Amino acid sequence: KKDITILAIESSCDETACAIVKNGREVISSVINTQIAIHTEYGGVVPEIASRKHIENINPVIKKALADANMTWDDIDAIAVTYGPGLVGALLVGVAEAKALAWALKKPLVGVHHIEGHISANFIEYPDLKPPFAGLVVSGGHTHLIKVLDYGEYEIVGRTRDDAAGEAFDKVARAVGLGYPGGPKIDKLSKEGNPDAVQFPRAHVDDAPYDFSFSGIKSAVLNYINQAEMKHEEINRADLVASFQKAVVDALVSRAIMLAKESGLKKLAIAGGVAANSCLNETLRKECEKEGIEFYSPSLLLCTDNAAMIGAAAYYEYIKGTRHGLDLNAVPNLKL
């Protein structure tokens, strides 16, 4: 069987990334140019700036991925690109680049769903992992509980009704003055705080046991801060964010474990930027062990946005025969 080497491009948010991945599992090279430092100044991702930076960065990032792999275009079997969901102007840069390359080099083009990419990060981290398994996707824009039935075949079992988990982290971090991106900062500060100091609501959605709601927890944190200010009381930021983090983690863990158990899948893989959270990882690892569930968690650099995960997802699409034409467009709200 011939090896399939895919060059993958990711530009859906504020990372310009390119990776070369062999047979969906082996990362030959992976380059990530993050714009976090630029957007930090504005307290969040500014879409217009993200698009401009992608345009500046994309060619050097691709060149570096090829150079790091010690490869030329002759070694590449297909071009893959994230075409949604994400910021439309950011996605368009990657999509236009991938189409231009596919056309000029006469190579097949494979469009990839960003969330499918996040899930596929697990295939890189765990070369022996095969579907079916339960998946928890938690990122800045998404919170999904899914059954991964087969490669590229998903059943969404639960989703957030309001804020995504990462969005809640980012908003709370801004409110307590920690800045952007909030997730890693809250993660770090929480280690110094008492997670039981403040009781925040564990919201559930009636008749939808697998759905999430994080706006209630976020509002409770904002109320807590406002009340303290009115009473001129000092707040203990570490205690506050540790308690918030625990509330979010509890909501994620209880439902993920419930799915892994009730579905009989007995395997749980997490994915997305929030999957890098240390409290979420530790709690899930413990609970999975207790319940006899195998737990899969990608390393830090595979959790947050990268192109290696897109190359992994693209491989399984490629061998199924998925090919996109030069009419491929960015789809900001692409469904899984």
Phi-psi region of 144 (alpha: psi -120 to 50; beta: other; left: phi over 0): beta
- 47: Cβ–Cβ under 8 A, 6 or more apart, which residues? 87, 88, 89, 90
Distance separating alpha carbons of residues 293 and 42, to the nearest angstrom: 42
Phi-psi region of 232 (alpha: psi -120 to 50; beta: other; left: phi over 0): left
Per CB under 5 A, the segment of 71-79, 97-105, 227-235, 305-313 that binds Zn ion is 305-313
Per CB under 5 A, the segment of 97-105, 148-156, 275-283, 297-305 that binds Zn ion is 297-305
Given the rule CB under 6 A, which residues bind ligand KG4?
A: 13, 139-141, 166, 169-170, 181-184, 187, 272-274, 276-277, 304-305
Beta bridge partners of 240: none
**206 is annotated as contributing to ligand binding:** no
**187 is annotated as contributing to ligand binding:** yes
* Residue 225 burial (CB count, 10 A): 17
How long is the chain?
A: 336
Per-residue contact string for residues 81-120; x = within reach of Zn ion by CB under 5 A: ----------------------------------------
**138 is annotated as contributing to ligand binding:** yes
**137 is annotated as contributing to ligand binding:** yes
Distance separating alpha carbons of residues 321 and 333, to the nearest angstrom: 24
The listed partner (ligand KG4, Zn ion, none) that binds 14, CB under 5 to 8 Å by sort, is none
* Residue 292 burial (CB count, 10 A): 9
For 67, 69, 309, the CA distances from 26, given in Å and listed in that order, are 17, 12, 10
What minimum distance in Å lies between the beta carbon of 26 and ligand KG4? Answer: 22
Among 305, 314, 328, 330, binds Zn ion (CB under 5 A): 305
**183 is annotated as contributing to ligand binding:** yes
139 vs 160 by CB, closer to ligand KG4: 139
Of residues 120-159, which lie at the interface with Zn ion (CB under 5 A)?
Answer: 139
Reduced to 3 states (helix: H, G, I; strand: E, B; else coil), residue 185 is helix
What minimum distance in Å lies between the beta carbon of 161 and ligand KG4? Answer: 18
The listed partner (ligand KG4, Zn ion, none) that binds 89, CB under 5 to 8 Å by sort, is none
- The annotated binding site for Fe cation is made up of 114, 118, 305
Please report, as ranges, the residues that interact with Zn ion according to CB under 5 A: 139, 305
